[in-house]
Homo-oligomer: A and B are copies of this chain.
Amino acid sequence: MFRTHTNGELTLQNLDQNVTLTGWVQTIRDKGFMIWIDLRDRYGITQLVFDADRSSAELLDNAKKLGREFVIQVNGKVIERQSKNPKIPTGEIEILVENLTILNESQLPPFTIEDETDGGEELRMKYRYLDIRRNPVKDKLIFRHKMAQKVRNYLSDNGFIEVETPVLIKSTPEGARDFVVPSRMNPGQFYALPQSPQTFKQLLMIGGMDRYFQIVKCFRDEDLRADRQPEFTQIDCEMAFVEQEDVLEIFEGMTATLLKDIAGNDFGKFPRMTFADAMKKYGNDKPDIRFGMEFVEVNELVKGKDFKIFDDSELVVGINVEGCADYTRKQIDELIDWVKRPQIGASGMVWIKYQNDGVVTSSVNKFYSEEDLQRVAAAFNAKPGDLILLMSGNENKVRTQLSALRMELGNRLGLRNPKEFAPLWVIDFPLLEWDEESGRYHAMHHPFTSPKPEDLELIHTEPGKVRANAYDLVLNGNEIGGGSVRIFDKDLQSRMFDLLGFTKEEAEAQFGFLMNAFRYGAPPHAGLAFGFDRLVAILDGNEVIRDYIAFPKNNSGRDVMIDAPSPIADLQLEELALNVDIKE
């Protein structure tokens, strides 16, 4: 071992001890006759001192040769500091250095290794190994590890077995695009990388494993959006002989354990909301319930007053922005412009102010009497000082637009405190959703999700109304997990494939082995998967996942540090029986 202690542990308790430390030179303060160095490692910072009075001339000379990020080993005595630093655990001591060894030199790094760095995103990614030396990045990776350990221990303690499912599997055209892997031993054939271990975990239930989990890499070849990664990590779980309630209970327990560890408080029973209610109250299937601003629908109060825009709208719906009646015209216009941006796509917005003087006024005074407006304000439980914003249009679209506005205002008004946690189960998702493009229904969760038995008879008459035993766990406005009770009856599964427009042949080719497995005593089962990258980020009070991934890819799916992907040798292509054929 090159050291006797780390840089995070020495205190006055260690006074006068002779210690050996290693690490990176963080900062150098050279006063000529005295040099102070902050020595950094994963565990902290320790101040080193070299001093013309107490150190040899040679040692002082050597210390003067050091540069930022040099790797050194020092030996010396723990002494009490003159000016203490109460902000760090080692702030009461320093090391009077007696021996200095340079273990490795360093070029000047391309950005500063500080909590607030001068390095831009791209530079930091290219030199990610230097970026990881920075506390904010390092701490996030350590936090991720701790969460993974807690998850594994919780699930293990609850009888779950972590089973590794294969990474080289079979491509299925369903869902997002697969990454594929050409097989040299089977020319012209390909493996696929799993988008999730879904079928394998169901096979494990059929195999009697009873309770399965895995923290596992999954892969999706999507056109990347910001904060989407081609490889991502799931906490994947499945249980046999259970109903929806059992799954919610176990994973509520798991999430509460993590939250308690972070936030310190007990979260009791997580609230639950149906999908229908979530859409109606928040316009969103993953509502952030840290703040109110619930939707109020006012069709009855505003229609038939000759305001054509509202009269022609399927839905008029609004939110009460409490205490914001004093917004200036300019502020409100800016909000209107915000909802009119193409990303939101609203055609306009109506405002009603409940002034502090008790007067209710609006941008549509021409059509509505103050009495009319009072009635609307009452529907919102508005008080003097509140601002009501109304939007209108197609039911689904206007909800989505108003939801975006609600979240934006939540951010602007500081209602989304990242250190406050509001978990929520959203349940009773629709089984199917209509896809305009293909003109048919798609599985909202996936084709193995069980319909609610009581809705089963609607399946051929009003398939859109069939609810599923499907559930999402939402935390602070983010879906962190989702799952469903699975179909375990081969006939029902077969009907489901019909409904989703699979031919018998397609269903057989893609899921034949699962359908076959259903013939040999499949138990009732249900499961859930968490997006681990996102879960960790949100638990840590962030919404950007990239810094919780050690070596992330950029938005073009590239690792700019190792420069991947890259061309491969002709011999490799030949062995794989492949030609590259780039069409211009």
A564: chain B residues within 8 A (beta carbon): 168-170, 191-192
Contact A133 B208 (CB under 8 A): yes
Complex Cα–Cα for A110 and B295 (A): 58
Complex Cα–Cα for A242 and B4 (A): 11
Q: Is A86 an interface residue (CB 8 A)?
A: no
* Choice from B165, B178, B241, B518 contacting A551 with Cβ under 8 Å: B165
Contact B241 A3 (CB under 8 A): yes
Q: Is A106 an interface residue (CB 8 A)?
A: yes
**Shortest Cβ distance from A517 into B: residue:** B129
Complex Cα–Cα for A561 and B156 (A): 28
Complex Cα–Cα for A557 and B193 (A): 15
* Choice from B145, B168, B230, B568 contacting A180 with Cβ under 8 Å: B568
A453 to chain B, nearest CB (A): 14
Instruction: Find the residue from A133, A180, A488 having the highest chain B CB count within 10 A.
Output: A180
**A530-566 vs B, Cβ < 8 Å mask (1 yes, 0 no):** 0000000000000000000111010011110111111
A458 to chain B, nearest CB (A): 24
Q: Is A130 an interface residue (CB 8 A)?
A: yes
Complex Cα–Cα for A302 and B218 (A): 63
Contact B204 A550 (CB under 8 A): yes
The secondary-structure label for the interface of chain A is loop
Contact A167 B565 (CB under 8 A): no
**A239-253 vs B, Cβ < 8 Å mask (1 yes, 0 no):** 001110110000000
Complex Cα–Cα for A519 and B130 (A): 11
Q: Is A1 an interface residue (CB 8 A)?
A: yes
A163 to chain B, nearest CB (A): 5
Complex Cα–Cα for A489 and B71 (A): 12
- If A233-B164, A562-B170 touch, whether A207 touches B133 (CB-CB below 8 Å) is yes
Contact A580 B180 (CB under 8 A): no
A491 to chain B, nearest CB (A): 11
Complex Cα–Cα for A170 and B166 (A): 21
Contact B188 A580 (CB under 8 A): yes
Contact B580 A578 (CB under 8 A): yes
* Choice from B156, B210, B565 contacting A183 with Cβ under 8 Å: B565
* Choice from B42, B142, B190, B207 contacting A567 with Cβ under 8 Å: B190
Contact B231 A167 (CB under 8 A): yes
A109-137 CB contacts (< 8 Å) to partner B: 109, 127-133
A335-372 CB contacts (< 8 Å) to partner B: none
Contact A567 B188 (CB under 8 A): yes
A549: chain B residues within 8 A (beta carbon): 164
Contact B186 A557 (CB under 8 A): yes
A10 to chain B, nearest CB (A): 16
Q: Is A501 an interface residue (CB 8 A)?
A: no
A384 to chain B, nearest CB (A): 52
* Choice from B170, B187, B551, B566 contacting A580 with Cβ under 8 Å: B187
**Shortest Cβ distance from A42 into B: residue:** B210
Q: Is A226 an interface residue (CB 8 A)?
A: no
Complex Cα–Cα for A524 and B167 (A): 34
- Residues of chain A touching chain B, judged by Cβ–Cβ distance below 8 Å, are 1-3, 22, 24, 40-43, 69-71, 103-107, 109, 127-133, 138, 141-142, 145, 148-149, 152-153, 156, 161-171, 173, 177-193, 199-200, 203-204, 206-211, 217, 219, 221, 223-224, 230-231, 233, 241-243, 245-246, 488-489, 513, 517-524, 549-551, 553, 556-559, 561-569, 572, 575-583
- Other than A106-B519, A185-B221, give 19 A-B pairs with Cβ distance below 8 A: A1-B243, A43-B210, A104-B489, A104-B523, A138-B209, A163-B550, A164-B549, A168-B564, A168-B565, A169-B562, A170-B562, A181-B181, A185-B557, A186-B558, A188-B582, A189-B567, A217-B217, A513-B562, A578-B580
What are 19 inter-chain pairs, A to B, with CB distance below 8 A? A1-B243, A24-B208, A40-B208, A41-B210, A104-B523, A130-B206, A130-B207, A138-B208, A165-B550, A167-B193, A168-B179, A173-B569, A181-B181, A184-B221, A185-B557, A189-B566, A191-B565, A577-B582, A579-B579
